[in-house]
């Protein structure tokens, strides 16, 4: 405001007079300002023009605001360049805060004397010792507020962004919601800013709606706008897959959460392509009431026919023959063919490791070659003997030779720092010898553990 000398008839109340407000304030600053802050500004201006110092509690009561909210309002107007807060000591050495009102007309367009007629200026020419209009508010704790939300530049930008987007003044509740989003829920300001634009494109302007969108992105790990855009792109592609599946089945509704869960398993866990899923949907075209569970069964069966992954979870059962057979066939995470292929794979791997150990030992213990040759000779002779009592003595003699050869092999290994069973096959299961079946022809108890390994093995092999 201009430097104006004001006088007041002591016999009249200030509420019966007028308060001058710059039109520039009304046109440029009032539309974007929070309503509570406008109330504080106008009441303060009124007291300043009549050189009165308001009581803090009385002002708070009149405006139905807390004293902290009034302090926030002054900081807001200081950030807009309409007031300046000055601290000084009074006669009792106590700190007093003065809110000095500044004229934006003088700042933007020069002194009034340059823009108004001489007679108008004469009415408002201040004395040389006159101070700018100000209101003194003692003991107001501005420092606490300065460290709070309104001096947070990022929050102010979000308040302004939301006001511009909605075309109205942001409310106290909306300010608190934005502040909580950043300070309590850890949403990055740029994520919330992007959420405002994203929701505006959807014609959604509710602060609660915007908050939920920004929070969902944050919970999905988005900390930057680029990450949020990539997430939206993935969701867009997946939603397109949902639409094509529902169109193929003739559904005229949106997917429910359970529907999305089933379809997500096809694409994420079973690694099905959209073409494979749509082909499975065509199998349900002849049904009077096609459904996703039927399509899911078709996809599972086709995967099993190819020796692929069985997505049914294992069932609890006793570690015995018939129960394990049922679990291996129905509850295993892989088909029977994949499980058999995996058993063959681990047997081959174990044999390769044994051959590597043999090569190592022969290189370090040359005498071991004679032991292997003697063992091979005894085995050949044993195989050449015909069954029957006539060859009983010969068999016993060959068994004794085999035991002696085995003892010599152990001595050579121990003498060179190797364990006695270093050259023996290492089975993962000594019951079934890594075949999956016991000597009685029952499903081995190791099948459940091997099935879990086979799942990972088959999945990695398909990705390779």
The pLDDT value given to residue 100? 82
Q: Determine the straight-line distance between the first and last CA of the chain, rounded to whole angstroms.
A: 76
Please check whether the two domains, 14-148 and 153-223, share a CATH topology: yes
pLDDT at 9: 45
Q: How far apart are CA 260 and CA 239, in angstroms?
A: 9
Q: What is the pTM of this model?
A: 0.36
State the fold for domain 153-223: Arc Repressor Mutant, subunit A (1.10.10)
Q: Which whole number is the average pLDDT over 130-154? A: 48
Q: Give me the percent of the chain exceeding a pLDDT of 70.
A: 76
**Spatial distance between the Cα atoms of 181 and 211, rounded to a whole number of angstroms:** 7
- pLDDT at residue 214 in the model: 93
pLDDT band, residue 463 (cuts 50/70/90): low
DSSP 6-22: ----TTS-GGGS-----
Which pLDDT belongs to residue 195? 92
How far are the Cα atoms of 20, 26, 51, 95 from residue 103, in angstroms, in the given order? 12, 13, 17, 26
**Average pLDDT score, the chain:** 76
Q: What is the pLDDT of residue 305?
A: 62
Confidence of residue 137 (pLDDT cuts 50, 70, 90): very low
How far apart are alpha carbons 105 and 24 in whole angstroms? 7
CA 365, CA 357: separation in Å to the nearest integer?
A: 12
> d(Cα 70, Cα 43) in Å, to the nearest integer?
11
- pLDDT-derived band at 211 (thresholds 50, 70, 90) equals very high
The pLDDT of residue 304 is: 66
**Confidence band of 32 (pLDDT split at 50, 70, 90):** confident
**Which has more confidence, 315 or 388?**
388
The Cα-based distances of 197 to 10, 133, 272 in angstroms read 55, 41, 35
Q: Which residues pair with 87 in a beta bridge?
A: 97
Helix, strand, coil shares, percent, the chain, to 5: 60, 5, 35
Give the pLDDT confidence score for residue 113 in this predicted structure.
Answer: 39
For residue 76, what are the contacts with CB-CB under 8 A and spacing of at least 6? 33, 34, 37, 150
CA distances from 302 to 280, 312, 330 (A): 9, 14, 15
Count Cβ atoms within 10 A of the Cβ of residue 436 and give its class: 0-12 exposed, 13-18 middle, 19 or more buried: buried
**Per-residue confidence at 321, pLDDT binned at 50, 70, 90?**
very low
Would you state the CATH architecture of domain 14-148?
A: Orthogonal Bundle (1.10)
The answer on pLDDT for 378 being more than 70 is: yes
Mean pLDDT of 330-351: 79
Predicted pLDDT of residue 215: 92
**Maximum average pLDDT range among 116-120, 256-260, 319-323, 385-389:** 256-260
Burial of 217 from C-beta contacts in 10 A (0-12 / 13-18 / 19+): buried
pLDDT at 130: 36
Is 436's pLDDT higher than 70? Answer: yes
- Give the model confidence (pLDDT) of 245-258 as tens digits: 888 888 888 888 88
Residues facing 96 on adjacent strands: 88, 138
pLDDT at 167: 87
pLDDT tens column, 283-313? 876 677 788 888 888 888 777 666 554 444 3
Buried/exposed 330-344: b ≥16 CB within 10 Å, e otherwise: ebbbbbbebbebbbe
Q: How confident is the model at residue 464 (pLDDT cuts 50, 70, 90)?
A: low
Question: What H or E segment, with its residue span, contains residue 83?
Answer: strand 83-89
Higher pLDDT, 314 or 375: 375
What are the residue ranges spanned by the domains of the chain? Answer: 14-148, 153-223, 230-305, 322-365+423-464, 368-415
User: Which pLDDT tens digit goes with each residue over 46-105?
Assistant: 888 777 777 667 778 888 888 788 888 888 888 788 888 777 766 777 767 778 888 776
The 10s digit of each residue's pLDDT in 165-210 is 888 888 878 888 888 888 888 899 999 999 999 998 888 899 999 9
Q: Beta strand 83-89 with 134-138: parallel, antiparallel or unpaired?
A: unpaired
Supply the pLDDT for residue 138. Answer: 43
| 269 against 166, higher pLDDT | 166
């Amino acid at each position: 405001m201009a430097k104006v000398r004001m006088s007041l008839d002591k016999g009249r109340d200030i509420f019966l007079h007028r308060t001058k407000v710059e039109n520039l304030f009304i046109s440029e600053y009032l539309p974007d300002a929070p309503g509570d802050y406008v109330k504080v500004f106008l009441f303060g201006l009124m007291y300043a023009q009549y050189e009165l110092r308001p009581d803090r509690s009385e002002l708070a009561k009149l405006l139905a605001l807390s004293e902290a909210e009034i302090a926030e309002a002054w900081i807001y107007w200081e950030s807009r360049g309409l007031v300046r807060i000055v601290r000084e000591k009074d006669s009792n050495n106590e700190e007093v805060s003065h809110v000095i009102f500044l004229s934006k007309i003088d700042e933007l367009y020069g002194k009034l004397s340059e823009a108004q007629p001489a007679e108008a200026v004469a009415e408002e020419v201040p004395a040389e010792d006159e101070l700018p209009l100000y209101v003194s508010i003692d003991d107001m704790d501005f420092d606490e507020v300065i460290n709070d939300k309104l001096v947070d530049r990022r929050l102010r930008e979000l308040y302004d962004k939301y006001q511009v987007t909605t075309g109205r003044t942001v409310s106290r509740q909306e300010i608190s919601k934005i502040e909580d989003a950043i300070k309590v829920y850890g949403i990055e300001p740029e994520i919330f800013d992007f959420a405002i634009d994203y929701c505006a494109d959807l014609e959604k302007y509710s602060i609660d709606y915007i908050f939920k969108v920004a929070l969902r992105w944050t919970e999905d790990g988005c900390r930057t706008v680029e990450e949020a855009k990539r997430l939206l792109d993935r969701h867009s592609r997946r939603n397109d897959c949902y639409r094509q599946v529902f169109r193929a089945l003739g559904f005229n509704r949106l997917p429910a959460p359970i529907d999305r869960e089933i379809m997500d398993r096809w694409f994420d866990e079973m690694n099905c392509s959209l073409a494979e899923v749509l082909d499975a949907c065509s199998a349900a075209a002849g049904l009077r009431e096609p459904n996703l569970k039927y399509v899911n069964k078709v996809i599972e069966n086709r995967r099993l026919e190819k020796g692929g992954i069985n997505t049914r979870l294992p069932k609890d059962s006793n570690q015995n023959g018939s129960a394990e057979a049922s679990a291996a066939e129905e509850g295993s995470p892989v088909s029977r063919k994949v499980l058999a292929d995996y058993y063959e794979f681990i047997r081959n791997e174990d044999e390769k490791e044994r051959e590597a150990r043999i090569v190592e030992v022969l290189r370090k213990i040359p005498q071991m070659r004679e032991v292997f040759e003697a063992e091979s000779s005894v085995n050949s002779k044993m195989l050449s003997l015909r069954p029957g009592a006539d060859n009983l003595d010969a068999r016993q003699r060959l068994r004794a030779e085999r035991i002696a050869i085995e003892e010599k092999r152990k001595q050579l290994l121990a003498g060179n720092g190797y364990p006695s069973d270093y050259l023996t096959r290492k089975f993962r299961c000594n019951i079934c010898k890594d075949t999956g079946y016991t000597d009685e022809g029952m499903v081995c108890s190791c099948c459940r553990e091997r099935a879990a390994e086979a799942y990972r093995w088959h999945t990695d092999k398909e990705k390779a």
